Each structure stands twice: as structure tokens, then as C-alpha cells.
A and B are shown apart, each in its own frame.
Chain A
Amino acid sequence: MKYLSTRRRHPAAKPLILVLALFLVGAVYALVIPSSQVSAAPGLSQQVQEGKALFQVSCSSCHGLNGEGTSQGPSLVGVGAASVDFQMGTGRMPMARPGQQAPRKDSEFSPEEISAISSYVATLGPGPGIPAASVVDPSKLTDEELARGGDLFKTNCSACHNVSGQGGALPNGKYAPPLTGVQPVHIYEAMRIGPQQMPVFSKNVITDEDATQIIGYLETVQNRNPGGGLSLGNLGPVTEGLWAWVVGIGGLVVIATWIASKGARSK
């Protein structure tokens, strides 16, 4: 004790204590905080560098040189790799022109380039990652699980996307896009990131098993659903009514005209 008590008034004591305290706080902080979900592994740094270069050429005019966002586009800090994979994989980003909503189109980028940019954006802040292939593979689902996916889809998704995924209208020219031909991984990512008008369906709401079942249902209903013939766009009574009037009444009126003008040789 004598050692400490004799030196506590030493001029260096205060600075030393401060340094010690800072070191202690830093050490505890480093131990306690969670590691970020996506950390750039040493082997990927090359990919991150490529992604950053691509980002600065193709994305930065709207999203800022460091993804911090501008008046033209939102910040990408914390959107995660899944966002980039979804937006660029479905061709929505880069946008062809500003508008209510970015439409789906063929992507201008190769999968490697998208992967590079998404790993760069993932370094900006933690966010949802790209799912493992097994999560979005519905091939092992049973019929009951597919049916359950249908029920989940109808409860959570069909109000905007239509019961068979044909899409639907939202206010002011916005819309829920059709889900025909969308890759399973993009359906999964859309649920997690909530792109554009779509709300986020987190893992607490729709678990990974639920998501797989929804993906399986959509794939089945769109590719292997028995039809009653010509589908008329799967749009329901509007196109059915149009068919009944144009082809049905229209066709029968043509025939009625023919009947009325023919065959009256009763002499």
C-alpha cells in the first residue's frame, strides 16, 4: 500500500490512470460488443476492393461515393448484401430513370460483379445477408408443407401480389410486381429487406421454414398448377367477363345474324 500511497500525488499519476481507464474500457468494449454479421474475411478483401471500384462507377452518382446517400438515392449503410443482390439481381438497380418504382428488368451486371458490390456494401454496416442455397430450395418440401406455404402466402402476400402472384395495383401508380419467373433467392431476400413499397418480413414473423414453404408454393402454383384451359392471364372475373362479352355474345351475335339471313326457303 505504501508504494501506491506515496506515488498517488505524482504528477504522472492522473494521465496514467486515464490511459489505464481508457484501455480497460476499450478492452471490455471489444469483448462485449457482438461481432458484425458480415465481416470482410481477409480472402475477400480483393473482392471488396473490386466491388468498391464498381460501386463508385455505377452506383455512387445517386448513393454517394461511400454509399452514404444523396438527395437522389438513400444511404446504403446497413442495408446488407441481400439488398444489393436483390436490387441488382432483378435488374431494378441501377435505375434506368427516376420514378415511383424501379421496374424489374434484365440485369446489366454479371453475378460476379453483383457479388463484389454486395460484399462491398456489406462492409458499410451490418444488414441481412444472402441466404444459403439450402434455405431457398423448396424441392424437399412435402405436399402438406407446400399447402401451408399457400396459406401463408394468401394471408401475408396475396393482398398485394394477387393469389397466384400476378401482382396488383397500389396507390398513386405504385404496384406490387408479378412474381412469375422470380428466382427463389430474390423472393427470400425481398421478404427480409422489404424493397420499395414492400414491408419487411423479419425472421420473427416469417421464419426461414415459412419462407421456404412460400417459395415452394409459388413455384408449384405457377409452374405445376392444373388449369381449366386458357388462363386469360389469371386475372379473375374481369377478363372472364370480357371474354363472355366479346367472344361469347359477340360470336353468338355473328351467328344469329347468319341464322336470320339464311335458310328461310319454306316455299
Chain B
Amino acid sequence: MAKPAPVADTRDPGSATTTSKRAVSARDIDLPPVMVKQGGPLAKWADDRLGVGGLSKFLMRKIFPDHWSFLLGEIALWSFIVLLITGVFLTIWFKPSMAEVEYVGSYQLMKGMMMSQAFASTIDISMDIRGGLLLRQMHHWAALLFVAAMFTHAARIFFTGAFRKPREINWLIGVGLLFLGTMAGFSGYSLPDDLLSGTGLRFADGLMRSIPLIGTWAEFFVFNGQFPGDLIVSRLYMVHILLIPGLILGLIAAHMVIMVYQKHTQFPGPGRTEHNVVGYPLFPVYIAKMTGFFFIVFGTITLFGALVSINPVWTYGPYNPSQVTAGSQPDWYMGWVEGAVRIMPGWESHWGHTTWSWNVFVPGVILLGAFFTLMALWPWIEHWFTGDERNHNLLDRPQDNPTRTAFGVAIITFMLLLQFGGANDIIATHFKLSLNAISWFLRFAIFVVPVIAFWVTKRICLGLKKGDQERLLHGSPTGEVHRDANGAYIEDHVPISHEEAFALTAIDAPEPLTVAAQADAHGVRRTDGDVSAMRARASHWWSESNIPHPTREELEEAHSHHGDGHEIEPADKH
């Protein structure tokens, strides 16, 4: 039995093609010229050991397309970096303990009060530690911006169809990040153990208890006994500074690597196809833009932290289960769940010795779960409607897919209405409205208004598409109206540029699915790719009002008689 021949594996990380026997000469260095020029011997040193040359060659020439909406995810990323930096500072001083201590710091209105160590250390950070309040406020503002930027980024991905094949996995990771970001925020604002965060925890406790049958056990598991117990702060601390940030970091890494691997999407335009990326290289253009934007986001958050008060815990005071202040709201990203609970009728069932709290379970647990489930499944839901199997590297403009856009706007409308519900007492006092009137309005509006928003959005999208078709067929109106010999009023049109025509015709909406023949020509029953009648109907509904691009013939026909202008008012009416 022959021994397997030893295979010489190249160990030179600098270049996979050089063998270890060859002496490394200057020519073998796999460094981009700019790195040799800028980095000098240091670049060579790093390349010899880590092979940064190959990586940087790849990364530095990586092309990214330019559009403002592609920077929304960056806001989230940079806010997260600020969260990490400021968070590290806060952990140096924060004491995650619910042990009772007497306050001995310098804040006048707490003198001699008993409070948890967590709250006392938060007051110390805010009042006695140099720069503490600035960093605490920056951390909180960055958290609000982080989740807001993730939502905005997700909306951009949704409305441009960037979640479609081949990017479903990255969409899923994104939904996971959004959920984790929300949880990070919630666990974070519960830590100071002030009156507002304790009230928020009480809310979360209610959600847990509302879970049928196991609710009480869930509460006892999380709080180690009845609310509030004496462990929740240290448990949330672990979740907030270790578990969730670790998961977020890992998912962000995966998100980025997949984005680089799949290459960035782009809007249609001249020279842009499904098979290329047109933009600027990472170095030097995007490095400069990204670094600049990082500093702008960092600066914005610093300004907010320095100038605008957020969560003044010293005003709220230590948590005491017997106190609930008017105007208790969660941070905005839980506001819509709060709103749903506030407007829900107080339905409750008692079966046997069990209690079913529909009034909390449905608007709290089910709604929250349904939102993230629907969001995660959306690429497959849309695929069910369209049956679209193509790869998409070109983005839709929102009006290119009226049904999807209308659905997204309906969901946003729904959440916005619930957000109003969460702020109902602030709205009532500041706009002199009745709380009950707001609740009753919202109970119906959350069902009716999204439907109206759906319909209106769809009409707006179709109007925009019609306008595009007008421009393709008849050109761009010049605004010059004149009267011809017959007395008709005519507005001159000029043909649109080839670039614009290219961009307007680059996107093809998929054909609606049709019910496949149940049997082929030989009478053999098909088993593959069956489209049910229901799915075909749904697919038809999805795309029925789509406006197809004009065909080549239509375009040529329209352009051949160009110059007649566009009649505003037919002459024969005179």
C-alpha cells in the first residue's frame, strides 16, 4: 500500500502563488502601489506576515454605488460604535446591584434616600463623575438613533426590493439585528432602576404574565420570584453588556461579509446592469466618505449628549412599585406596543382556574411576535405572490412595485397610529383632546387608515409610473405652449435622454403566475411547480395594475411622429 505522497502546502501568506523555496524579492510583494507608497516598510512588514496585500488589493478596489439611501445602514453602524465606546465608559462606574444603600452623593433632592446601588451609581455617573452625564446621554441618544437608523435602513431595503434573491439571508440577519437592537435598548433603559425604567419592567412583567398557562412561571424564571425581586438588574446587565452586543457584533460581521460577497445593489442607470456594479472604489473615495460620515454621526450624537437632556433619572427618582408617574412611556421603539396595549379593550377569559389576558397578550406578545415574523418571512411572502426566481442586483424604485410599496406604507401607517396610542396622554394634554376619544378613534383607525394608506400609495405609485411612460413615449414637456393654424393649443415636448430612457426601462416587473396545466400533453399529471388557483389569483391581484414598459414598436412609433407636439386641446372642439 503506497503511502500518500506528501503535498507541499504553501505557507507564504503574502501570495498563494509563490512557493516557499523562492526567495522573496521586492517584485513578489503583493501590495497595491498606493500602499507601498503610503505605508512604506510597515506595509511590507504586515504583508510578509499577514498577507494584507492581497486583502487590501481586493478591498481597496471594491466598488460601491453612490446613493444617499445607501448610507442609512451606516448611521446604524456608526451609532453602534458610539454605543460600544460610551458603554465601556459606563460599565466602569455602573454597579449592577439591587442592594439597598443610602444615597450619599451630592444631588440635593436625593439626600438620605434609600435606593438600589444600581440607581445610586447612575446618579453618581450623572452628578458626580466627570463627563459622566455627557457619556450617559450620548449612550442613550445613540441607542435611540441606532434603532431608528435600523428601521429606516430596513425600510429602504424593503421599498427598493433589495431583500429579493439572492439577498434573503442578509434580510433575515437584518431582521435579527433589528430585534436584538430593540432588546438591547429595552434591557439598557431598564438598568438604571429609576422610576421610569421600573415602570417599563413592570410592563414587560405584564407581557410575560399574560402568556397563557406558563405566564406566572415565566415571570418567576426571569425575575427569580415575584416582580421586582432583587436579581433582575444584574441579569439584565449580563444581557445588555455581553449577550446582546456579542450577538449583534457577530451578526453585523456576517451582514457586512455577505454584503461584500454579494456586492452592493444599485439603482438602474446608464451602464448599470444586473451583472455589474457602477460606482466608486472603496479607496480613496468611500474610505473618505465613510470616515467622514462616522465623524459626523459621532459629532451629532456628542452634540445631542451635550445639549439635549434625555432620561433625567434624578428627576424620576429610585424605583418604587407603589409609584407610577403620569407620562410614563417606553423609548420610542416600544411605543407602538405600548400604544396597542393602551387602546386594547379589556378582554379577559377565565376557563377553569386559568386566566387568559387577551387585553395584554394580543396587543403585546402576539403583535410583537407577528411583526417580526411577518418581516422575517417577507421575501418568501413576496415570492409566493410573484413567483419571481430571478437574481436582482438592480433596485426597484418604490413606484416600480406599487403593491409592495403600498403594503409597506400601510404597515408604517399602522405602527405610527399605534405610536400615537402610546403617546395618548401627551397628545391629550397638549392638543386638548379627550383620552377616550383618542382610544376610540384609534381602535377603528388602525384597521381603516392603513387600508386607505395602501390605496392612496398605490395610486400615487401608478401615477408616477404613468408619468414615466409619458416621458418615454412623448418626451419631456418644455412648458412652451403655442397655437397652431387650426387653433389647437400644443405644448412642445423634447425627447428624454438615452440615459433616462435606459433607467426607466431597466426594471421588468415579473409576469403574474398562472395556473399551470394540471396534466401535460401526454395526460401525465404534473407534480412540479404547481401553482394553485388561489396563488394565481393572488399573483394576479399583486400585479394587475402594473404598467408595462412600452414595447420597442410603441417607442419607435411614438418617436417617428415626434415633433407634432402633444395636443392639449383638440382643434375640432373649436
Residues of A with Cβ closer than 8 Å to B? 142-144, 146-148, 150-151, 154-155, 158-164, 166-173, 175-176, 217, 220-221, 224-232, 234-245, 247-249, 251-253, 255-257, 259-261, 263-264, 266
Contact = CB atoms under 8 A, between A and B. Distances in A.
Interface stretch (B286-294, B444-452, B476-484, B559-567): B286-294
B435 A229 contact: no
A266 to B, nearest CB: 5
A170 B432 CA distance: 11
Contacts of A160: 326
A260 B429 CA distance: 42
A143 B435 CA distance: 38
A263 B195 contact: no
A76 B426 CA distance: 34
Contacts of A232: 308-309
A260 B66 contact: yes
Contact of B309 (A228, A247, A257): A228
For B112, B307, B335, B436, which residue has the most chain A Cβ atoms within 10 angstroms?
B112
A174 to B, nearest CB: 8
B314 interface: yes
Given A225-B312, A243-B304, 18 more contacts: A146-B111, A158-B325, A159-B323, A162-B325, A163-B327, A225-B109, A225-B315, A226-B127, A237-B196, A237-B331, A237-B332, A237-B335, A244-B148, A257-B68, A260-B70, A263-B288, A264-B66, A266-B281
B144 A162 contact: no
A250 to B, nearest CB: 10
B330 interface: yes
B326 A161 contact: yes
Nearest to A256: B71
A158 B296 contact: no
Contact of A256 (B75, B126, B304, B423): B75
Contact of A266 (B280, B296, B317, B435): B280
B296 A175 contact: no
A176 B113 contact: no
Interface in B401-446: 422-426, 428-429, 432-437
B224 interface: no
B109 A159 contact: no
B428 A175 contact: yes
Contacts of A244: 141, 144-145, 148, 332
* Top 7 A-B residue pairs of the complex, sorted by shortest distance between their CB atoms: A168-B326, A241-B332, A228-B309, A173-B434, A169-B428, A244-B144, A163-B325
Contacts of B195: 154, 163
Interface in B94-144: 107-113, 126-127, 133, 137, 141, 144
B329 interface: yes
Given A227-B312, A236-B196, A248 B127 contact: no
B461 interface: no
17 contacts: A143-B109, A143-B112, A144-B111, A150-B109, A151-B320, A160-B326, A163-B317, A163-B327, A169-B429, A235-B327, A237-B335, A243-B304, A252-B300, A255-B293, A256-B75, A259-B68, A259-B293
For A143, A162, A228, which residue has the most chain B Cβ atoms within 10 angstroms?
A228
Contacts of B422: 238
Nearest to A248: B145
Contacts of B325: 154, 158-159, 162-163
B300 A237 contact: no
Contacts of A175: 428-429
Contacts of A229: 137, 306-309
B322 interface: yes
Contacts of B113: 147-148, 151
Contacts of A238: 327, 329, 332, 335, 422-423, 426
